[in-house]
Chain A
């Protein structure tokens, strides 16, 4: 334990793909596909990677650095050398076209189908000889990496400048391509390299030469995407996970866009070492996973789930968590928080109380503690292995599965441990509220605490043990009523800490917003008053309801513009900061404030009156001032 090695620094995200790691494949056409590096060539249970309805094995990718570009071959994913981009170099194609144009003059103009077919395949074979593999071309490029950047200018210069090149002479009658579909299929089935097909398509297009340079580049790109598909190995991080999930099915994650996720994390002040409470049943655990990664295995994430176990563990596990991160993630059943507090205690006692000693015995924990690593074999297991199985390979398989199972078993929190953890959070608040009269009931006298200010300065951390601390931030993204959820969870949050609610729709958040702005509590019921006093009490400030307008740009020399289609909405965020339940409230009642204001007058007093008058007049129209003031608690 005294070792100076910090496992966290060692467990930094590895630069290379490990066996069983999940990763993403990013394509040039913005497709993003999940894959897993399965070490066997053939996987029994599920395909490691599925592209264009084809299954690819990923065993050959283990050990490759993230960021490697792969060519999607017919049967396998071929890693390309460093320096290759998702779009192959165009200059190869232009060279190839030049060669082809010399030899296929007859083929290109021919309406005789058979002839041109033969010629095209012929050409394909020929160029195949000229550039035998893509690896050599790649090697060639590596010598001159700068070449890549001159693509645009290259294409521009190859266009003859004498002719006016635009669309004025374009005849769009679908006859410009003389290569037929069957011919392309023939090329594909003979495993012709993609670049050859693209070159053949270009040289057989009668309109290609009359296109503008930009439009030629666009044409080449389109064909390359289809016939030379490539992808890049990308690490799964909060942003890439969210964007891939969003692409796949945005509705499944309640339209949570990746930039909104970033905002949620930032506004919730997520940082290493905190205790964070997350309810993200609506977004497939993405927020939980992101918090864990942001915290790097320091601190703990309490994530609520409903049912027997979270239904989105597969999503969360795609992050390839380290052991520290796994330890930091603690799944809590919904009932632990939303269930009846006393009933929970009764249940614990009923089920786990030891009759003799009267103490509560955590049976699960007792069993776990009994296991001594490396978990020696029980007699019946030993018998089973020596007598029934015998086969050496099967025995070793059995043992490794058994060991893995025990590592999981030994590192799993029991239900009672988690229950204590959660209840501890709440107890802090309860005790705090219970201690002494709240300042809200005592009629506030200004500066009442001046004398004991010095006495109160104690480091109050010391008396809060680690396992009963309150949470440092709260994130809610659930389809349950956000208002009810928030009000139930606020006691678990430490004062002056932020909470963030994500919702797909605006309206549920309006209600939450309004409730937080005008929160009333019942007071003085024991005075014998028939009518309970309702007092407006602030429980949170810094409320802000937002959504984000987000757009991406195409940035190319002379062709920069926003993307033609962008996401219109990425969900709504309501954020706020919890106030101290005792001293953050409106301790003066409105009557008293009015009296003081009448006495004091002054700018503040008068201005306030005007505001309320103005607000009535405008009744919703409002200017910026109105909005600003509405935000003041």
Chain B
């Protein structure tokens, strides 16, 4: 995706300003000029280090290392832009295929390949060289079928990607990035990776120099996710770890050995692990390169390494102590759980591990259906008051029953017409006006998950793995 590309640097207004540190004697030996240079340097520091840097320095400490002073040079502060978005589709580009609002798909534009759907067959050769946002006609059916080719964004990707697991939906994903306050160059942890929909959203926000550590305990998903990230040109922003951050193997072993001090309930699904756990737990040496899941749990990034952590796990409370160790002071954490029971346990675990400002929220997207609606004025025509003639005719008809002559039928019609309008449904239409209307869709996604956000305390927390061994 586009945000993974390298930035181009161009000297902007700041770089051209020539603001930098100057010698005290830059303008000569006059005391006034000396003073001016000193003040100019202070102003330069304030400019580059933000609000009134000099005063803050005095408030904290006075040491200024040389590395810091090097940064007071406007030539460092170039404008950095992504290259303009590619207008034309290149071979092997990821392209989102927009069939209709609810049918999105994706292709890698491979020469001589064919994409088929219910609207027809579409040749990739037609895609290549066309601009993004174009409309493509099908090869068969005389081009009756069509589709649109769009440039991928994490949102469109989430709607078209191959589901390996339940994905974090767009609304939740937007709330998570927003409330986790993810911004460029941050280090973020995510567990588990799943289908990678949320990973792409996070990656967009941490580009260009951030790092996403994403953890997944299913080896197949790890492989697929890695391949996807590479294919989308995001490999340099992400590291996919094959690891169970909860460290259930280890917990289980600890529980089997001595009684688990935290009294964590073990779910039944781990029965299979029990056998191997006892042998694995002794294996202390861990190789980061090969990403062997040693069953220890945790994020293995050291203390206070991540700005934000996102947990999408069946038992997030098991990962909370690890998260507390890995997260930076005042960092943000989010746990995504569909059930209230999970949320309650997680909130309790967060409280215990020094997190504060807990906030549990839920959001649903209400989509609107828009249509032009024609409103007619109610019909105002009067009904016919029965005349003597008409009444007698009616009587005659009732008496005559089925023996209606053609003559009498004609007569009836004529009579009624004479009386005024026909007594039918075609009443006189009043003037109508069109208005634009909207109503919510008849169906909506009723629930995705409860999102629990919290802020880490400023005190560093111990490594939970240290206490286990």
Q: Mark B135-172, 1 if CB is under 8 A from A, else 0.
A: 10111011111001111011110000000000000110
Does A460 lie within 8 Å of B88, measured CB to CB?
A: yes
Shortest distance between the CB of B118 and any CB in chain A (Å): 7
Would you call A497 and B330 a contact (CB within 8 A)?
no
Chain B residues with Cβ below 8 Å from A582 are 131, 134
- Chain B residue with the shortest CB-CB distance to A622: B369
| B457→A82 contact, CB < 8 A | yes
- Whether the Cβ atoms of A446 and B366 lie closer than 8 Å is no
- A8-B209, A544-B367, A597-B144 are known contacts. Are A449 and B126 too (CB-CB below 8 A)? yes
Closest to A513 in B: B370
B70 in the interface (beta carbon within 8 A): yes
Query: Bound state CA distance, A68 and B27, in angstroms?
Result: 45
* Chain B residues positioned under 8 Å from A321 (CB to CB): 50
Decide if B125 touches A453 in the complex (CB within 8 Å).
Answer: yes
Q: Tell whether, in the assembled complex, residue B126 and residue A403 are in contact, meaning their CB atoms are under 8 Å apart.
A: no
What residue of chain B has the Cβ atom nearest to residue A498's Cβ? B153
A544 touches B101 (CB 8 A): yes
A68 touches B17 (CB 8 A): no
The answer to whether A545 touches B367, judged by C-beta atoms less than 8 angstroms apart, is: yes
Say yes or no: is A560 at the interface (Cβ < 8 Å to chain B): yes
* Cβ A266 vs Cβ B174 within 8 A: yes
**CA distance in complex: A8, B48 (Å):** 10
Q: Which chain B residues in 100-150 approach chain A with CB under 8 Å? A: 100-102, 118-119, 123, 125-126, 128-135, 137-139, 141-145, 148-150
Which A residues are in CB contact (< 8 Å) with B155? 266-267, 269, 498
1/0 per residue, CB under 8 A from A, across B1-32: the answer is 01100011010111101111010001100001
Q: A273-B7, A583-B130, A628-B100 are in contact. Are A446 and B442 (CB under 8 A)?
A: no
User: A604 to B81, Cβ gap below 8 A?
Assistant: no
User: In the complex, what residues of A have CB within 8 A of residue B143's CB?
Assistant: 444, 446, 588, 596
Q: Given A82-B459, A373-B19, A376-B27 in contact, is the A548-B208 Cβ separation under 8 Å?
A: no
Does B86 count as interface, using CB distance less than 8 angstroms? yes
**Do the beta carbons of B185 and A7 come within 8 Å of each other?**
no
User: Which B residues lie within 8 Å of A8 (CB)?
Assistant: 80, 184-185, 209
Complex Cα–Cα for A13 and B373 (A): 52
Binds B, one of A19-27, A129-137, A196-204, A522-530: A19-27
A453 touches B129 (CB 8 A): yes
* Residues A218-277 near B (CB distance < 8 A): 232, 235, 237-239, 258-259, 261-263, 265-267, 269, 271-275
- Decide if A604 touches B141 in the complex (CB within 8 Å): yes
Q: Which DSSP category, helix, strand, loop or mixed, fits chain B's interface? A: mixed
Determine which of B44, B138, B347, B442 lies in contact with A627 in the assembled complex, contact meaning CB atoms within 8 Å.
Answer: B442
Asked whether any CB of chain B lies closer than 8 Å to the CB of A585, the reply is yes
Name the residue on B nearest A22 (C-beta): B51
CB closest chain-A residue, reference B351: A149
* Contact A447–B101 (Cβ < 8 Å): no
Q: Are B19 and A495 in contact (CB under 8 A)?
A: no
Please, which residues of chain B bring their CB within 8 A of the CB of A622?
A: 369, 371, 442
With A271-B204, A510-B370 given, is the CB distance from A262 to B48 under 8 Å?
A: no
B340 at the interface (CB under 8 A from A): yes
Q: Once the chains bind, are A459 and B102 in contact (CB under 8 Å)?
A: no
The smallest C-beta distance from B228 to any residue of chain A, in angstroms, reads: 18
Name the segment of A105-113, A303-311, A338-346, A394-402 touching the other chain.
Answer: A394-402
Chain B residue contacts of A274, Cβ below 8 A: 3, 81-82
For residue A147, give the distance in angstroms from its CB to the closest CB of chain B: 11
Q: Are A65 and B458 in contact (CB-based, < 8 A)?
A: yes
Contact bitstring B49-77, A, C-beta under 8 A = 1, else 0: 11111011001100000011011010111
Q: Are A542 and B98 in contact (CB under 8 A)?
A: yes
Looking at the complex, which one of A15, A456, A549 makes contact with B88 (CB distance below 8 Å)?
A456
CA distance A337 to B366 in the complex (A): 33
Residue of A nearest to B330 (CB): A67
Q: Which residues of A in the span 282-334 have a Cβ within 8 Å of any Cβ on B?
A: 293-300, 320-324, 327-328
Cβ of B207 under 8 Å from chain A: yes
Residues on B with beta carbons closer than 8 Å to the beta carbon of A627: 369, 441-442
Q: Which residue among B139, B142, B145 has the maximum number of chain A CB atoms within 10 Å of its CB? A: B142
Q: Are A551 and B361 in contact (CB under 8 A)?
A: yes
* B27-A374 in contact (CB<8A): yes
Residue from A7, A553, A605 in contact with B48 in the complex, judged by beta carbons closer than 8 Å: A7
**A358 CB–B CB distance under 8 Å:** no
- Is A520 engaged at the interface, CB distance under 8 Å to the other chain? no
State the CA gap A600–B142 with chains docked (Å): 8
Any B CB within 8 A of the CB of A114: no
Query: Is A412 in contact with chain B by the CB < 8 A criterion?
Result: yes
A238 in complex: contacting residue of B27, B141, B178, CB < 8 Å: B178
B281 interface hit (Cβ, 8 Å): no
User: Is there a chain A Cβ closer than 8 Å to B343's Cβ?
Assistant: yes
Cα A549 to Cα B446 with chains together (Å): 10
Contact with A along B344-362 (1 / 0, CB 8 A): 1001100110101111111
* B298 smallest CB distance to A (angstroms): 21
Given known contacts A19-B51, A376-B27, A577-B150, A275 and B81 CB-to-CB distance under 8 angstroms: yes
B364 close to chain A: CB less than 8 A: yes
B83 within 8 A of A: yes
Query: Do B370 and A545 touch across chains, with their CB atoms under 8 A apart?
Result: yes
Residue pair B364, A548 in contact (C-beta under 8 Å):
yes
User: Is B47's beta carbon under 8 Å from chain A?
Assistant: yes
Residues of A within 8 A of B129 (CB): 449, 452-457
**Is B452 an interface residue when CB atoms closer than 8 A count as contact?**
yes
The interface-forming segment of B35-43, B218-226, B248-256, B377-385 is: B35-43
Partner of A413, one of B13, B33, B362: B13
Task: With CB as the reference atom, state the residue of chain B lying closest to A410.
Answer: B17
Determine how close the nearest CB of chain B comes to the CB of A552; give it in whole angstroms: 5
A161 to chain B, nearest CB (A): 24
Interface residue? B390 (CB, 8 A): no
B11 (CB) vs chain A CBs: closest residue: A1
Bound state CA distance, A544 and B100, in angstroms? 12
Q: Contact check, A149 vs B174: say whether CB atoms are below 8 A apart.
A: no
Answer whether A298 and B17 are a contact pair too, CB < 8 Å, given A238-B181, A266-B178, A466-B81. Answer: no
Is the CB of A119 closer than 8 A to any CB of chain B? no
A214 contacts B by Cβ under 8 Å = no
Q: Roughly how many angstroms separate A630 CA and B100 CA in the complex, as a whole number?
A: 10
Contact across chains for B10 and A453 when beta carbons are under 8 A apart: no
Contact yes or no, B173 A266, CB < 8 A: yes
- The docked-state distance in angstroms from the alpha carbon of A68 to that of B17 is 38
Does B46 count as interface, using CB distance less than 8 angstroms? yes
Residues of B within 8 A of A385 (CB): 32
> A272 contacts B458, CB within 8 Å?
no
Q: How far is the CA of A39 from the CA of B73 in the complex (A)?
A: 26
Contact between B204 and A269 (Cβ–Cβ < 8 Å)?
Answer: yes
Any B CB within 8 A of the CB of A503: no
The answer to whether B42 and A372 touch across the interface, beta carbons within 8 angstroms, is no
State whether the Cβ of B455 lies closer than 8 Å to any Cβ in chain A: yes
Contact A457 B88 (CB under 8 A): yes
A20 and B52 contact, CB distance less than 8 A: yes
Interface residues of A in 460-484 (CB under 8 A from B): 460-461, 464, 466-467, 469-470, 472
The distance from the CB of B429 to the nearest CB of chain A, in whole angstroms, is 15
Contact indicator A604/B59 (Cβ below 8 Å): no
Closest CB in chain A relative to B45 CB, distance in Å: 10
Query: Do the beta carbons of B178 and A323 come within 8 Å of each other?
Result: no
Contact at A546–B90, with CB atoms within 8 Å? Answer: no
Knowing A62-B59, A546-B367, say if A541 contacts B46 (CB, 8 Å).
Answer: no
Q: Judge whether B286 is part of the interface by a CB distance below 8 angstroms.
A: no
Whether, in the assembled complex, A632 has its beta carbon less than 8 Å from a beta carbon of chain B, the answer is yes
Is A547 engaged at the interface, CB distance under 8 Å to the other chain?
yes
Complex contact B330–A15 (CB within 8 A): yes
Contact, CB under 8 Å: B207 / A271:
yes
Cα distance A18–B58 in the bound complex, in angstroms: 10
> Does chain A have a CB within 8 A of B365?
yes
A545 to B438, CA, bound (A): 9
Q: List 17 A-B contacts (CB under 8 A).
A: A6-B209, A18-B53, A63-B56, A67-B356, A146-B352, A413-B13, A449-B126, A466-B10, A469-B81, A498-B155, A544-B367, A553-B361, A560-B340, A579-B148, A583-B134, A588-B143, A602-B141
User: Which 3 residue pairs across A and B have the least CB separation, nearest first?
Assistant: A262-B178, A296-B184, A374-B40
